[in-house]
Structure 1
């Protein structure tokens, strides 16, 4: 069977993948290490394993999962850094916040990669998808100091494959001009969803080694061997989009929203407004998952690793914005010291439980007085962060335009 394609192969989705994300974040604070082998290890340090190795360390055989003592023997002159996963979480949040400014539909797939819906963005930004990919890549590097590789294609499956073609810091497109060749040279291990067991089955039982081999297989055979997921991949590899982007995560057990400040500060109002902005994000997520919280916490970070934090129990579980905000600001006033320089801050919501209420509908149900519900609802019908609180607006105003030079 020959490769079949839709009549047109329009690029509709991009996959953004950070290059050596953990190492890239560490290089922001230690730029003198650039160009040298670097390994980020887990929280147990020398008794654990490597969680990330940069491109300079990989020729020595070091990769994610390599035990520390083996990596040290393979490359004694490498720099080994104990990972700061709170810091990586901060940078990841900034990354996806920036991607959301380019497109309202962004899917988070992990801490350092995700998909962007490209439909109509060429009209909005008045530039081609190629120009837009370059602009996104350059903006992320300029404002976050994180290099990313981007692949864009007609489907999510092809976009993820494309993002690996020109790493690091590359951009690649898959369309009708190169699809057949990409499928011919790409091994099946490059498909997300084909684990080791499936790879062995395809290669050694059915002599399917490349993506071209796979799409040339009969679809009835594909479905019989790999089920509906395998058939969806079969179609997506030929340019037919069958999986949609989703920007809703699984229901969380707790919610944390935090970030580094643009600069160290003692300014009470600045920190207060910053925390309210983060609290808006946290409560929107709380309501998106139809949850309420019983515990609210606030923390401020001074010089690493010094941190002050405090929590409080609410009178009863709630998702009400005003109630949670008042509790959080009271906590902030308890730990804030006007003589102290702070470099980061955040809020967290714990002890989550279902709200047991129906989703807000503007036309079918009475208008709620819950501010967080209103903000959520206007996000859906008008766009993300179109309407916000006054404090949240102060926090967001410098970040409204993805091409803005201040972040």
Structure 2
């Protein structure tokens, strides 16, 4: 059974079977994003850390602290023995709360049951370092998942991704905006990533599916928990044409905490993240927070200032934690630039008029018409400007793309 799961995810000989089993064991013991577990596995390896934790639960954390010091915690090899011993004691004491968290699940550990459940649903096991491990996940450091369970993914290739998130109870305007952003991402050959939930998530997924493009949904529970139930048909289609990913082992029920923890994966998988609609306490803001911490570009779609569904988006922009979506393709363009490593700013397609800022330009432009060119002396008469000021104002307006000069005078573009 493990051989089948492993054969689809790990190239032969790359990862020891005991290490695979230990990572599966860890995934059943800890909650998503457990930093202590991530650091233990990172320093000792999955198999060695599991055995050390079992020993620590029986005999105390002293030996585990010593193992971590030997594995390269701050002191160097020539440090004094008493200093190393003191550091080992401090490390062991710091691990006591983590051991208390893990104790009950470790005692009931049943890796075989997890593997049987995975076999029943027909999923694959993906490990760090595998070619199918999603790009960007390792940027989470010790908060990265220890394994991922996957359904589908056979047709996925490596490409920039746009993570689209937002309110479950979206407005009509929000749905339209999500559809336009997702459509622009698909047109740019970007992967659309979201959480498979009601509202904005579902709109983004369905637009990608409708365009015949792959999309990825990250689940908050086990890979066999297609939640919400009303979206189960859509999630099955995503598994057929794109991929479902889950960090928790099969059989794990979604919970509020796991939804929040899941958001860090959506942020990590996206080259950029877009918040389409979000209330003041929306979980979508949590995704934006994670993306910001990872250094990913974040975009927010504006909405009516009176709409409670747009409060979170406006706050992200006001706090300079997100860029404003001016055009639906802005997130996709940013994803393509980030993917290629090109940080060159893109010129605005629509010129920003300075007429409202410069009163002379405003007066000169107001003196013109669209149909018939106006000679310069007539502009001077209509605007009340001096000849030199009118000339300067018209030249500036021309540079801004507001007016154009012809053989017989000036007119508004």
- Common topology (TM > 0.5): no
Greater Rg over alpha carbons, structure:
2
The structure richer in helix per residue is: 2
**Superposition TM-score, scaled by structure 1 size:** 0.23
Greater relative CO (CA pairs within 8 A, separation 6+): 1
The structure richer in strand per residue is: 1
**Superposition TM-score, scaled by structure 2 size:** 0.22
